[in-house]
Copies of this chain bind each other. A is one copy, B any other.
Amino acid sequence: MSTPAGDQKVVRLYPPSYDIRVETTAIPQIEHPDDAIVKIKLAGLCGSDLHTYRGTESVTTHFICGHEFVGHVVALGASFHAGVTGRPTLYSTLQIGDKVVSPFTVSCGECHFCRIGFTSRCEESRLFGTAVTAGGQAQYVRVPRAGGTLYRLSDISAGAAGQEHLGKEAIAKLADSSLLLLCDILPTGVFAAFQALNHPKTLPMTTSLPYPLSSSATNVASDISALHAQDTVVTVAVVGLGPVGLCACVSLIEMLVSRGLQFRVVAIDPTESRRAKMAAIYSKISDKQDQFAVATIEEGKAIVKKWTNGIGCNAVLEVVGNNSALALSYELVRPFGCINSVGVHGEPQVPYKGRELYDKNVSMDFGRCPVRAMFPMALDILLKRQDVFGAVGGDASLVEKIVSIDEAKESYDLFDKGKCGKVLFDPWV
């Protein structure tokens, strides 16, 4: 149980901004009994890497970039040795050689937030690819609290009852480029869609029961009868078609179809190339033209108005992270609708007046996806939609290309300028 000695190649960002260097540095070693060392197979370049790249996060020291990686465990700390008890299951079962993916943040698996599934607010949460925690754009990465953080792909039981064909063997066949989507963008999209469909404001449509009977713990009598089909069409707008927005759309449609719900989904983005990719992806998963539309902002408003007789959407997935997107979300949502925001927001005060929120009975969810807790659901969708998530390159893929880590500087530059889509780094070629 030891990490190779010697040096490795890594991608570093130097302050204050735009200064990416591929350098050689020492391979990380176990520093704490809960650590694992992972040998990286592929690392992702993510839209949120651009925040630090552009200097908006006030970087003061260089660090190893990247918060998306898939690889194999090559070393484990003492906590993983036989005989250690009282730790989360993965501390006793994680083994050298296991294939793993990691959420973009550390989650200990042991604090209150980890135990209840809200893993992105782990009391020891740290973001990979920052000055505090070295990232995965490297040949090796040290993973703190690895028993809570890493998700083991070698021996898990994916697939719900009746879906065993989505189990171990199917997972073993998944390409690394596809697995890498589990680190951040796919679970975040799944989280947005899941929050929308499971929000109490949406439950009347998904359960065919009127509020408050639609909420699970209601057990009082009611004089209101079950809903008619005309009332249960779930209408959702997705605002923002970057990689997470695309994942949100695909996940949402998959959930709506698999639950047998009637729906209308409109996917909105002002950028033509993003809309084109969304349309190409949709053409892979359905030929029904009446339940899905790709739209500019103005087109989106008109479509929602037409579909809903002017009352608005049940839910709006906000996958941008600025006040324009929030303002548009308010405009699109219906009274008693919900805005599910997974966008990373900045300092401005949100653009809502209290009276507006009261008058429309708006509900809102903000915040970071608890990736570790969403892994099983995201893996399920990854397996079901390999037609979308298995592709590399082409009009309808989320991943544009896999390049050598030596091309990191150029890739950051092109990605920053919108001249290329999602790029993955292979650190061994």
Asked if A417 is at the interface of the complex by the 8 Å CB criterion, the answer is no
CB distance from A286 to the nearest CB of B (A): 21
Q: Which residue of B lies closest to A198 (CB)?
A: B215
Complex interface: chain B residues within 8 A of A402 (CB): none
Complex interface: chain B residues within 8 A of A161 (CB): 219
Asked if A409 is at the interface of the complex by the 8 Å CB criterion, the answer is no
Complex interface: chain B residues within 8 A of A200 (CB): 195, 198-200
Closest 8 pairs between A and B when the two form their complex, measured CB to CB: A345-B354, A361-B367, A117-B211, A117-B210, A357-B366, A121-B335, A118-B336, A198-B215
Q: Which residue of B lies closest to A200 (CB)?
A: B198
Q: Which residue of B lies closest to A228 (CB)?
A: B115
Are the C-beta atoms of A367 and B358 separated by less than 8 Å?
yes
Q: A204-B117, A221-B160, A311-B112 are in contact. Are A351 and B349 (CB under 8 A)?
A: yes
Asked if A355 is at the interface of the complex by the 8 Å CB criterion, the answer is yes
Are the C-beta atoms of B357 and A347 separated by less than 8 Å?
no
CB distance from A170 to the nearest CB of B (A): 13
Complex interface: chain B residues within 8 A of A223 (CB): 89, 156, 376
Q: Which of A121, A206, A341, A362 has the most CB of B within 10 A?
A: A121
Can you show 14 pairs from A to B with CB atoms below 8 A apart? A112-B311, A113-B336, A117-B211, A117-B214, A121-B360, A156-B221, A194-B218, A197-B217, A212-B377, A321-B354, A345-B355, A350-B357, A354-B366, A362-B366
Asked if A174 is at the interface of the complex by the 8 Å CB criterion, the answer is no
Complex interface: chain B residues within 8 A of A217 (CB): 197-198, 206, 259
Q: How far is the CA of A219 from the CA of B218 in the complex (A)?
A: 21
Q: How far is the CA of A212 from the CA of B377 in the complex (A)?
A: 9
Are the C-beta atoms of A373 and B121 separated by less than 8 Å?
no
Complex interface: chain B residues within 8 A of A113 (CB): 335-336
CB distance from A96 to the nearest CB of B (A): 20
Q: How far is the CA of A219 from the CA of B272 in the complex (A)?
A: 36
Are the C-beta atoms of A112 and B345 separated by less than 8 Å?
no
Are the C-beta atoms of A352 and B349 separated by less than 8 Å?
yes
Are the C-beta atoms of B358 and A368 separated by less than 8 Å?
yes
CB distance from A382 to the nearest CB of B (A): 12
Are the C-beta atoms of B210 and A115 separated by less than 8 Å?
yes
Complex interface: chain B residues within 8 A of A376 (CB): 220-223
Q: How far is the CA of A335 from the CA of B335 in the complex (A)?
A: 26
Complex interface: chain B residues within 8 A of A5 (CB): none
Asked if A175 is at the interface of the complex by the 8 Å CB criterion, the answer is no
Complex interface: chain B residues within 8 A of A206 (CB): 217
Are the C-beta atoms of B224 and A373 separated by less than 8 Å?
yes
Complex interface: chain B residues within 8 A of A359 (CB): 367-368
Complex interface: chain B residues within 8 A of A197 (CB): 217
Complex interface: chain B residues within 8 A of A351 (CB): 349
CB distance from A192 to the nearest CB of B (A): 12
